[in-house]
Amino acid sequence: MVKSFKKKLLIGALSAMVCCSFAYEAEAVNHAEVNPMAVSQNVDYLVFVNKTHKLPDDYEAKLPLITVKNSFGREFQIEPETYRHFEQLRAAVKQKGIQIELDSVYRSVARQKEIVAEFTQKYGADYVKQYVAVPGYSEHHTGLAVDICLVVDGKIIDDNDEMIAQKEIFAQIHPLLAEYGFILRYPQGRENITGYSYEPWHFRYVGIETAKKISGAGLVMEEYMK
């Protein structure tokens, strides 16, 4: 998929949200009150998307999505099982005194086109090549990829460099991912295989059994899907 957008166009909006009180519990809103298990029966949790593997053309039309909110009131669309397991992960890291929140989840192909144009103008083509996927080649089109932000001492941390600097926090989060069906999609030192720079904030839901296989073998998805 593509890089998360820690240097986002939403920073201004997030800054305003900092003034609000932070509810430690996420305000999850399922707009249709659907049963996650029911709507996710036909989801391909191993759908493979990277810089050379395009999302199937009909994938988005078949994707079940629910609308949820993070603790700041920002709305996101996400695949139901992915959200259910993310909330379990969020509760687990909360027990360690760590607050994680949704920062970017599903993005349509149309929205990806807008982002590429916006980021090219703002940061330049080299930055976009490193951090932003070509429309149709982003994991965020799947609804199964989650970018998180951190809340540390009441401050939202979502900038690329600031996030990467939170080594101690991510050292506690990453070992828990597989237990809840997630993998770290773009790990450090595997850039030549994934095609993307290290993203400690980008988690991909693949299901618990598969996540344990991938993580246990020290693989990235490109290697597992061969």
- pLDDT at residue 42 greater than cutoff 70: yes
Cα(197)–Cα(66) distance, integer angstroms:
29
The pLDDT of residue 65: 96
Domain 11-161 part of CATH 3.30.1380.10: yes
Give the mean model confidence (pLDDT) for residues 115-124.
Answer: 93
The pLDDT of residue 41: 66
Return the active site residues.
199
Element (H, E) at 191: helix 191-194
Nearest Cα to Cα of residue 176 among 99, 81, 89: 89
Residue ranges per structural domain of the chain: 11-161
Measured CA to CA in angstroms, residue 198 lies from 31, 39, 67, 213 at distances of 34, 33, 28, 21
Lowest mean pLDDT among 7-11, 53-57, 211-215: 7-11
The pLDDT of residue 58: 86
Q: What share of the chain is helix, strand, coil (3-state, %, to 5)?
A: 40, 15, 45
Give the mean model confidence (pLDDT) for residues 123-127.
Answer: 89
Residue 21 banded pLDDT, cuts 50, 70, 90 = very low
- pLDDT at residue 175 greater than cutoff 50: yes
Phi first, then psi: what are they for 117, rounded to 5°?
-65, -45
